[in-house]
Amino acid sequence: MLILKNISKKYNGSKREVLKNINLAFDNRGLVTILGSSGSGKSTLLNMIGLIDKPTTGSIYLNGRDITHIKSRELDYYHHHYIGFIYQNYNLINSMNVEDNINLLSNNNLNVLKYLKIEKYRKVNVNKLSGGEQQRVSIARTIVNDPKLILADEPTGALDSKNGIKIMKILKKLSKKSLVIMVTHDENLANLYSDRIIKIKDGKIIDDTKPISIKNEKVTYYKGKFKIKMSKIMRIVLNNIRIKYKRNILIIFAFTIGLLALSCVLSISNGFTKSLEKAEKESLSEYPIFISETSTDALEELDEIFENKSMSEEYIYSKNTFNKNIIDDRLINLIDSLDSKYKVYNYITNDNKIITNVSNNYLDNVKLLNGKNTINDKEALIMLDYNNTIDSNLLMIFNLNKKQYKLDEILNKKININNEGYRIVGIIKNYENSVMSDNSGIIINRRIGSPYSISIYPKDYANKESIINTLRNKSEVKFTDYANSIKSLSKMIMDSISTILIVFSLISLVVSTIMISIVTMISIMERTKEIGIYKSLGASNRYIKEIFVIENILLALISSFLSIAIEVAISLPVNKLIYDLTDLSNVMILSNNNILIIFVLAIIFSLIGSLVPLHRINKINIVDSLKSV
């Protein structure tokens, strides 16, 4: 039983009471008509009964329970399972067909279509139907959930008399198993079909043909929870995306640009790092591991450059520029024991000339210009760089000070190194692509004390790692890894550039997010009536928000797919261009991690863009939203 006790309604800012102390009770079945002129309060009374408006004072009871101020979850349940609405202007969603309108929040029910004789219009958009047909669709949507209470607000007001009679016959038939409360000003229809007529004037009940006494009932609570399937949400979402496809294409385009820029930056950064690692293994590994009496830690120097620490002028700070090494027999024996491609020991003579001692296999990797490249303890070689030049200070040993000489002018000459005599027996030259291409000097086959520096050339990357691990286990040995220094410098520069580009990419994504937020707000405003329809059918604010959120997420995912597809398409020409300019291959590499980052960021930014406008949904009430055009 439905009971209204002492219901009064006064709208904010108005002194006039629209309803004045209404007391009514209704049976669980029958067709009850509320008659009254415009402005009498009949529609307001119907809204109170339907729980889409709240009384200023008084209470509404359903099956013995006060439901005037029930929680939103219970209210949604009542709207979906207990109460159905039929409106004068139908309140259908014109962008949907008949079947989708009926099954907005319900499962497909062909029996309803047959019952109301609209089965043949199942796939027709409702805006192509006549008024009578649209009203039958509205009734079908109402009764598909078998409501216990049907509220009809001027259901024949927009119809001609013939269609009006058809609708009244349908309502009369529905009243056999449900309570139908109808608001109208048509007394003829009321007298013909109503089981009970209630007349209202100026907010008061002035006549009731069949009053029912108010009695206490056993309270019956609602059971279960109202849950909408994801498949239904997706159907609505896809329909909305289709309808506003032009606007959605612009959103996808803007979002795709931001994601594409970010994806390209991440891919190039990732590919550049892998190219450096590959170069270190394939070519940079040939660069020497350098040990000297005063070794500079290149990585520490780079860190200080890029960290740019701010120092106070009130203090003096120490700076560790050099690492001291003691190059004695113990260290030399350790170096000699290391397996490597070759080793180079550099000495300074008494007269400050640089003399080099190399492992024999080094001489297999140079070009012999004259003489021979094998030497004994009393023989020496002249080593030229790739451009056939040598340090002029070394030529002074032979009392030569011209700009150029023939090979025979130097070959077989004798020199004195630390009071020891040597004869030049060969002239060799470093190849242009050699890691020592710029080096020149005099090579002898014996040690003349402790070298001031040692260069160890690895065979390959694995050999280099083995050498470095051995040296690192000796804490007193400080060394410089030129290959790693080059890689670290390049990586630091690339990381800095990548960070700047990522910031710019994120700015474009922020702009896209703002665009999503604005478009979502506009969409909510345009679909205010649709939101009201959802709410009147029992949809919660959360469910309605899910529709908009999923729409934005789908647009973000489409943008992600497009950005990745475009990047894959342009990666070949971009990689070719970079290879032509830098000799680095496959610099643009789209990794799985990068793809995951793009998708995650797209979803996050789409959610951020949805946050602010979705709060507006909470403020939309059913009464006002259904009045919107």
Minimal CA–CA distance to 198: which of 217, 178, 212, 177? 212
pLDDT for res 180: 95
pLDDT grade, residue 222 (50/70/90)? low
Least confident of 217-231, 327-341, 381-395, 537-551: 217-231
Question: Among 298-302, 542-546, 623-627, which is the least confidently predicted range?
Answer: 298-302
Is the domain of 248 the same as that of 198? no
Same domain, 607 and 514: yes
The answer to whether residue 233 is domain-embedded is: no
Instruction: Show which of 415, 448, 481 is a domain's final residue.
Output: 448
Residue 282 has pLDDT above 70, yes or no: no
| Domain assignment present for 515 | yes
pLDDT in tens, 557-615: 999 999 999 988 888 888 888 778 877 777 788 888 889 989 999 999 899 988 889 98
pLDDT at 465: 87
- Asked if 454 contacts 336 with a C-beta cutoff of 8 angstroms, the reply is no
Asked, for residue 98, whether it belongs to a domain, the answer is no
Same domain, 222 and 268: no
168 and 251 assigned to the same domain: no
pLDDT at 207: 94
3, 4, 5, 6: CA torsion to nearest 10: -170
Average pLDDT (222-251) is: 80
Q: What does pLDDT average to over the chain? A: 84
CB 355 within 8 A of CB 442: yes
For residues 211 and 267, state if they share a domain: no
Least confident stretch, 98-112, 219-233, 447-461, 499-513:
219-233
Secondary structure in 3-state letters for 115-178: HCCCHHHCCCEHHHCCHHHHHHHHHHHHHCCCCCEEEEECCCCCCCHHHHHHHHHHHHHHCCCC
**Model confidence pLDDT, tens digit, residues 484-530:** 776 676 667 667 777 777 787 788 788 888 888 888 898 888 888 88
Q: Strand 323-324 relative to strand 294-295: parallel, antiparallel, unpaired?
A: antiparallel
Contact 92, 101 (CB under 8 A): yes
Task: Note whether 212 and 254 are same-domain residues.
Answer: no
pLDDT band at 356 (very low <50, low <70, confident <90, very high): confident
In a domain, 474, yes or no: no
pLDDT computed for residue 75 by the predictor: 85
531 and 415 within one domain = no
Please state, in angstroms and rounded to a whole number, the distance separating the CA atoms of residues 26 and 48: 14
- In angstroms, what CA-CA distances link 166 with 126, 132, 146, 161, 193? 19, 8, 20, 9, 11
Q: Which residue has the higher pLDDT, 348 or 200?
A: 200
Closest CA to 253 of 505, 558, 554, 597: 558
In this structure, is residue 202 part of a structural domain? yes
Taken as a whole, the chain contains a residue count of 629
Average pLDDT of the segment spanning 55-76? 87
- Of 131-135, 227-231, 286-290, 403-407, the least confident: 227-231
Interior/surface letters 29-41, b for 16+ CB within 10 angstroms, e for the rest: ebbbbbbbeeebb
- Residue 32 placed within a domain: yes
pLDDT of residue 368: 92
598 in a structural domain: yes
* Residue at 90 is within a domain: no
Same domain, 214 and 262: no
What residue has token string 């490597």?
340
For the chain, percent of residues with pLDDT exceeding 70: 90
Are 49 and 180 found together in one domain? yes
Inform me whether the pLDDT recorded for 305 exceeds 60: no
Q: Which of 390, 417, 448 is the last residue of a domain?
A: 448
pLDDT for position 19: 93
Confidence of residue 236 (pLDDT cuts 50, 70, 90): confident
Q: Please say whether the beta carbons of 609 and 540 come within 8 A.
A: no
* Pairing of β 30-35 and β 196-201: parallel
The tens digit of pLDDT for each residue in 146-189 reads 899 999 999 988 888 898 899 999 999 999 999 999 999 889 99
CATH number, domain with residue 196: 3.40.50.300
- Asked if the model's pLDDT at residue 418 lies above 70, the reply is yes
Q: What is the pLDDT of residues 115-129, one digit of tens each?
A: 888 889 989 999 899
**Which structural domain, as residue segments, surrounds residue 497?**
240-279+489-627
Give the CA distances from residue 433 to residues 366, 369, 560, in Å, rounded to whole numbers and listed in that order. Answer: 11, 17, 44
What pLDDT sits at residue 320? 56
Residue 549: the pLDDT is: 92
Q: Are residues 249 and 199 in the same domain?
A: no
Q: Give the residue from 396, 418, 448 where a domain finishes.
A: 448
Average pLDDT, integer, range 79-99: 89
Whether 585 and 620 share a structural domain: yes
SS3 461: helix
Domain tally for the chain? Answer: 3
* Judgement on whether residues 268 and 407 belong to the same structural domain of the protein: no
Centre a 10 Å sphere on the Cβ of residue 232 and count the other Cβ atoms it contains: 17
pLDDT greater than 70 at residue 109? no
- Residue 599 is predicted with a pLDDT of 92
